[in-house]
Amino acid sequence: MNRPFPPDETALHALIARGLRGDQEAFAALYQAVAPGLYRLAYSILLHPEDSEDVVQEVLVYAFRNLKNFDPARGTFRMWLYTITVSRCRNARRRRWLPTVALQSLIGLGHEPRAPESSNPEAAIARKTAYESLERAMMTLSPRLREALALRYGQGLTYREMAEILDCPQKTAESRVRLAHEALRGAMAGFDESLLEELGVAEGGF
């Protein structure tokens, strides 16, 4: 499984050390290294661009002010940041009592999903369609299940790392991923039926 977050923990530690000495450029470099991953995590959980931006800003202001509290012996820097991000996303959800999904994204107005750019128009359309399908599928899940999928597939964490961040037993983390998977499959029931028909399988089997 790929790890989109910069895996070079040593380089991050060097930046942290510079930041602790008051080097402002180190903070900028740290931001560039971690912000995209944190935003993706926040967005995968909240599905709301502005709330995700707020969360990333809160997390990094807190982290940069409390760099001295980061203890490498207790875990990696990214694990520390992920833990704070998940916690802040939960707070953001509590603040917003109404849906965690922006209305405009539900009705397809205003906010356009940010599909990866591509020079080939056909490929770009295909990617955008896939992206929109994924976003719709994520909307059908509860925030807890989105957290599990975002950490497992979005950030490439192990179940053990997930359990640490979500503050739950490893079996619970595994169950959440499995439940999310089953919920997505339920949401895509139409696809299953067509697949079964294609394979010539009688539907009464289940």
Partner 1 sequence: MRKHVRHLLAGYVHGTLSPRQRRQVARHLADCPACRAALISHEGIMRDLRDGLPAFGQPTRPQLAQMWAVIRGRLAQPGPTRLPMAGLQVLGAAFGVLITAAFSLSVLFGGTAYVAAAPPPPVPAEIRATATPIMTRAPESSRTQLHASPTAIVYNSEPIPAASPAPIARW
Question: Binders of partner 1 among 83-112, rule CB under 8 A?
Answer: none
Q: Which two tokens stand for residue 74?
A: 């207790």
Among 34, 138, 145, 163, binds partner 1 (CB under 8 A): 138
Indicate the residue among 83 and 153 with the shorter CB distance to partner 1. 153
Q: Please state the closest distance from residue 113 (CB atom) to partner 1, in A.
A: 9
Contact between 166 and partner 1 (CB under 8 A)?
Answer: no
Contact between 42 and partner 1 (CB under 8 A)?
Answer: yes
Contact between 7 and partner 1 (CB under 8 A)?
Answer: no
Q: Which amino acid is at 127?
A: R
Q: Please state the closest distance from residue 40 (CB atom) to partner 1, in A.
A: 4
Q: State the DSSP string of the chain.
A: ----S---HHHHHHHHHHHHTT-HHHHHHHHHHHHHHHHHHHHHHH--HHHHHHHHHHHHHHHHHTGGG--GGG--HHHHHHHHHHHHHHHHHHH--S-SS-HHHHTT-SPPP-PPP-SSHHHHHHHHHHHHHHHHHHHTS-HHHHHHHIIIIIS---HHHHHHHHTS-HHHHHHHHHHHHHHHHHHTHHHHHHHHHHTT--GGG-
Among 12, 16, 39, 100, binds partner 1 (CB under 8 A): 39
Q: Please state the closest distance from residue 123 (CB atom) to partner 1, in A.
A: 13
Question: Binders of partner 1 among 167-186, rule CB under 8 A?
Answer: 174, 177-178, 181-182, 184-185
Which residue matches tokens 């180190």? 26
Indicate the residue among 61 and 106 with the shorter CB distance to partner 1. 61
Residue 89, burial from CB neighbour count under 10 angstroms (0-12, 13-18, 19+)? buried
Given the rule CB under 8 A, which of 69-77, 89-97, 102-110, 153-161 is the region that contacts partner 1?
153-161
DSSP 203: G
Contact between 139 and partner 1 (CB under 8 A)?
Answer: no
Residues that bind partner 1 in the complex, under the rule CB under 8 A? 1-2, 4, 27-28, 31-32, 35-36, 39-44, 49, 52-53, 56-57, 60-61, 64-65, 114, 116, 130-131, 134-135, 138, 149-150, 153-154, 156, 159, 174, 177-178, 181-182, 184-185, 188, 191-192, 195-196, 199, 201-202, 205-206
